[in-house]
Amino acid sequence: MADGSSPVKLSGGAAVAVAPEGTGGGCCSELSAELIRSLTELQELEAVYERLCSEEKVVEEELDALLEQQSPIESKMITLHRMGPNLQLIEGDAKQLAGMITFTCSLAENVSSKVRQLDLAKNRLYQAIQRADDILDLKFCMDGVQTALRNEDYEQAAAHIHRYLSLDKSVIELSRQGKEGSMIDANLKLLQDAEQRLKAIVTEKFDIATKEGDLHQVERFFKIFPLLGLHEEGLSRFSEYLCKQVANKAEENLLLVLGTDMSDRRAAIIFADTLTLLFEGIARIVETHQPIVETYYGPGRLYTLIKHLQLECDRQVEKVVDKFIKQRDYHRQFQLVQNSMMRSSAAEKIEPRELDPVLTEVTLMNARSELYLRFLKKRVSSDFEVGDSMASEEVKQEHQKCLDKLLNHCLLSCTMQELIGYYITMEEYFMRETVNKAVALDTYEKGQLTSSMVDDVFYIVKKCIGRALSSSSIDCLCAMINLSATELESDFREVLCNKLRMGFPATTFQDFQRGVTSAVNIMHSSLQQGKFDTKGIESTDEAKLSFLVTLNNAEVCSENISTLKTTLESDCTKLFSQGIGGEQAQAKFDSCLSDLAAVSNKFRDLLQEGLTELNSTAIKPQVKPWINIFLSVSHNIEEEEFNDYEANDPWVQQFILNLEQQMAEFKAGLSPVIYDSLTSLMTSLIAIELEKVVLKSTFNRLGGLQFDKELRSLVAYLTTVTTWTIRDKFARLSQMATILNLERVTEILDYWGANSGPLTWRLTPAEVRQVLALRIDFRGEDIKRLRL
């Protein structure tokens, strides 16, 4: 049994065939021999037998299949046997190849190591030659310098020194250690002496040349400094020379200024001109000498030159500005302005016109300075860019920072900032005072819609902002935009506001209607004042006109501000495209401008307030009585009266006539847009008031027809006077007319609910009943019975 279990498992299905007689291989079948042996029942035995038989069948089939595979396997074996000898041949060839490769490899390694050695040798040779050259050069320099110095050929001498200075210091060290050490030592000493001597000579000769103003010699020695490693010294000495030139020229110019006749054409801007000359002079110097500096000192050195030059520029600017302040009395004028700004009634008040020229001159001075500083910035920046092309980001930023600091905080910048600071206050004063004057001198010409002050005020504001813009300083411009917004919103709007606050006076016609009381009052007050004012009617007309003109003014102001914004925007695009005022400039400007634009809405609000006021104080008191007349016209009429109405209209024609008369006054006095808004307000008013009186009247069938006719005439008329669609405003009234025109109460159902068609009812069911009840010929119970 022990051997029975293990081998069978290995040999698989094949053992089943051997198994039938029992003991050995029975295990391979699913049924173990013991199991079979333990069986006692026939039925079970039969079942087991059957299963064994079917297993046997399967095994036999498998065996057959295996036997079928025998012949192809055999033929494959034969082929394999034939391949044997060939494989042996291949193995031999491969071994041979491997041997050859190993050999070649070692050969190659051998060769390349030799090449490496050669290369090393070659490099050393080069170095040796270089060093020998250097030593020869050194010798050549030693000899050359002496000769050159003797011949006063300083360029040559400097070239030798330059060569010496650019030699590798170790070379010099090496050559001292050589056999000729002591001789070379002596020569070196000579060379160093020569260097010192040359430095002294060049400095001295340069000084002489500058003193004599010999530009050729100056430039000659200026070029030698960098060869001796004296870049900074060369630049500083050279700029000293240039500064002297700047100073001389500037002094000349300033003397000319002091001698200028005040009647001269350019006398008013003579200081701006002087500054311009100074800046142009420096710019020309930079233009002329930048190439030399760049060629002989290398890029990135312009900053040093400019730094020196700017100091001189600052000195000269100070002188010019001092003279300017003295001659134009700038500080005292500022003081006066400031005093009168603080206390509105100062004793000594400057006539704003007197400030005009000096304000223009200051902005011009600043514009020139900005232009000049921009020029410097551009030049130095691009020079740095070339010089720093290989430098790290930090170095670049450091350089940029230095430049910004130089230009932003130089005396020129500070002085100009100070002048502009005063300028803004004075310009504000100029603007405010001139605006006040324009308001005081306000005149109105017949036929015009607006009065003179609107045009005048905007002319002034535009002028002031324009002048600030011409200073090229964004901060100055923004400040003036802010101040203009304040002036318009607070001061000028207040002027219009006050005019509107005086109100639109009641018409005489209305006084008449109000009865005698008001007339008595007017007389009474006039008598109290000790005079009987016959100009009463005239001044009423004036007051009316003033109100209407102010409305027009408010509208034009609102428009002008929007126009001003657009104009300024386009004016400044050019400025910004030049990169003025740093990265924030555009954002600052936009923000200030949008604040200014917001003032436009304030004027629009004012206009709207005025119109509402006009509608409720002037139109409503007139229109209401006219509409109330409707109540006295019976709409409970017979055929005869209806025909009579046809011939002699009882109400609507007169009403329309009255409206026309009244609106004619406004149409003539208001701009089309405002007039339109006003008529719109008026039509709303009419619709509301008419509805009220209709609901207070009674109608019969013909009366309803009459009302329908009246309403149609009225709507037709109102449609002609306004561009707004008014049908909407009269929708409720038309629907009331429809109801009042019905034959029977139930006819309403033809128009109501599902039958309403395109008609949208604006009346509630309760209102419909209310209107129906106005018809005296409709029975109340019929109306009550309606299902709406």
Partner 1 sequence: MSMEDYDFLFKIVLIGNAGVGKTCLVRRFTQGLFPPGQGATIGVDFMIKTVEINGEKVKLQIWDTAGQERFRSITQSYYRSANALILTYDITCEESFRCLPEWLREIEQYASNKVITVLVGNKIDLAERREVSQQRAEEFSEAQDMYYLETSAKESDNVEKLFLDLACRLISEARQNTLVNNVASPLPGEGKSISYLTCCNFN
Residues found near partner 1 in the complex (CB under 8 A): 404-405, 408-409, 413-414, 417-418, 420-422, 424-425, 428, 473-476, 478-480, 482-483, 485-486, 584, 587-588, 591, 595
DSSP string, 599-642: HHHHHHHHHHHHHHHHIIIIIHHHHHHHHHHHHHS-B---HHHH
Q: Compute the half-sphere exposure of residue 757: CA atoms within 13 Å on the CB side of its CA.
A: 3
Pick the closer one to partner 1 by CB: 355 or 714: 355
Q: Compute the half-sphere exposure of residue 60: CA atoms within 13 Å on the CB side of its CA.
A: 6
Rounded least distance, CB 425 to partner 1, Å: 5
Pick the closer one to partner 1 by CB: 592 or 674: 592
Reduced 3-state DSSP string for 311-342? HHHHHHHHHHHHHHHHHHCHHHHHHHHHHHHH
User: What backbone torsions phi and psi does residue 591 show, to the nearest 5 degrees?
Assistant: -65, -45
Rounded least distance, CB 721 to partner 1, Å: 32
Pick the closer one to partner 1 by CB: 244 or 588: 588
Q: How far apart are CA 212 and CA 217, in angstroms?
A: 9
Rounded least distance, CB 717 to partner 1, Å: 35
Rounded least distance, CB 655 to partner 1, Å: 34
Rounded least distance, CB 218 to partner 1, Å: 35
Pick the closer one to partner 1 by CB: 333 or 451: 333
Task: Return the C-alpha torsion angle 321, 322, 325, 327, nearest 10.
Answer: -110
Pick the closer one to partner 1 by CB: 424 or 495: 424
Rounded least distance, CB 372 to partner 1, Å: 17
Rounded least distance, CB 438 to partner 1, Å: 22
Pick the closer one to partner 1 by CB: 24 or 421: 421
Coil, strand or helix at 758: coil
Rounded least distance, CB 336 to partner 1, Å: 15
Contacts of 399 (CB under 8 A, 6+ apart): 300, 303, 384, 388
Q: How far apart are CA 421 and CA 417, in angstroms?
A: 6
Beta bridge mates, 635: 699
Joined tokens for residue 418: 């100070």
Q: Provide the 10 A C-beta neighbour count for residue 146.
A: 17
Pick the closer one to partner 1 by CB: 405 or 524: 405
Pick the closer one to partner 1 by CB: 493 or 499: 493
Pick the closer one to partner 1 by CB: 184 or 481: 481
Joined tokens for residue 535: 């100009």
Using the 8-state DSSP alphabet, how is residue 489 labeled? Answer: I
Q: What sign does the CA torsion over 133, 136, 142, 147 have?
A: negative
Give the residue ranges of DSSP H helices in 213-329: 215-224, 231-258, 270-292, 302-328
Rounded least distance, CB 581 to partner 1, Å: 9
Rounded least distance, CB 395 to partner 1, Å: 17
Pick the closer one to partner 1 by CB: 184 or 476: 476
DSSP string, 65-110: HHHHTHHHHHHHHHHHHHHHHHHHHHHHHHHHHHHHHHHHHHHHHH
Pick the closer one to partner 1 by CB: 161 or 355: 355
Rounded least distance, CB 404 to partner 1, Å: 8
Give the residue ranges of DSSP H helices in 670-779: 672-696, 701-721, 731-740, 765-772
